[in-house]
Amino acid sequence: MNYLSKEKSLSYLYISTVLFITNILMIIVTFNNPLTKAWLPIIYIIGALLSIVYLLYIFIKTYIYNEEIDETSKEFKIYDFIAPMVVMTSIIIMIFGNVIVSGKVDGRSMEQTLHHNQDILIYKFNYVPKIDDVIIISRDGSNGKELIIKRVIAVPGDKISFKETIPGFGFIFVNDTLYQNRYLKEDRSPTMFSKDEYMKMVELELHNGNYDDEVTLSKDYYIALGDNFNNSSDSRHFGAFHISQIGGKMIFKFGG
């Protein structure tokens, strides 16, 4: 007659416990991320704990009490189902709950790069934005928190300057390099900003709201704009975004 081996019960318990602890640590790290679903860690923790308790029960029976569990018994069949499920669930949650999440584009502010209702994958674990990253931002909207997607054009420490060419309008320079939206296929001319748009983008750097044509972006603040420049609400309207508002970056898009 075949019985459950001590080595098998120990290996599943060990792997499941390590994955559970790792997942908990990752959940703690990503808990304040705007993309984190509050219900996901709760469901995972409850399910994983119940499963680990059962694995521990099997381990005690086989290791402490030296009771052999018949492989044809109901008890073993439950164990043989739960053990690999705990491992697979932990790995899935670890990847698709704490590291990579799915999303859907809402609106046309990132055309032609992204289209309305297009599905995307987002990397969010311990993420620090870089120039040209397409990021997901949480902001206060008219109906509570809303997520928007934009492209980073300036990061902390960057020098932002405004050169007025006609009254009230001009060009933006990032570290003395002229900013030009390279994603507007129908328009290759330098991108023009209004003076008010520039001041809104850098308002946290202005002293008492007074105009300054050159500022340095503060720590933890990022300027992000939509690729569909003339049909986007972004840092020109909301100002620079704090790192706590940024949930992650797009790493893959489905479809064209």
pLDDT tens digit sequence for 45-54: 898 899 999 9
Print burial letters for 152-187: b (CB count within 10 Å at least 16), e (below 16).
bbbbeebebbbeeeeeeebbbbbeeeebebebbeee
Q: How many C-beta atoms surround the C-beta of residue 35 within 10 A?
A: 17
Contact (Cβ atoms closer than 8 angstroms) between residue 249 and residue 222: no
Can you give the residue ranges of every domain in the chain? 6-98, 107-253
Topology of 107-253 in CATH? Umud Fragment, subunit A (2.10.109)
CA distance 93 to 86: 10
Does the structure show a pLDDT above 90 at 121?
A: yes
Cβ within 8 Å of residue 182, ≥6 positions away: none
For residue 41, what pLDDT band results from cuts at 50, 70 and 90?
Answer: confident
Taking the C-alpha atoms of residue 47 and residue 103, their distance in angstroms, rounded to an integer, is: 25
% pLDDT > 90, the chain: 64
Res 256 pLDDT > 70: no
Looking only at the bridges linking them, the beta strands covering 177-178 and 169-174 are: antiparallel
Query: Strand pairing partners for 120?
Result: 103, 253
Whether the predicted pLDDT of 186 surpasses 70: no
Alpha carbon distance 73, 121 (integer Å): 43
Whether 208 shows a pLDDT value over 60: the answer reads yes
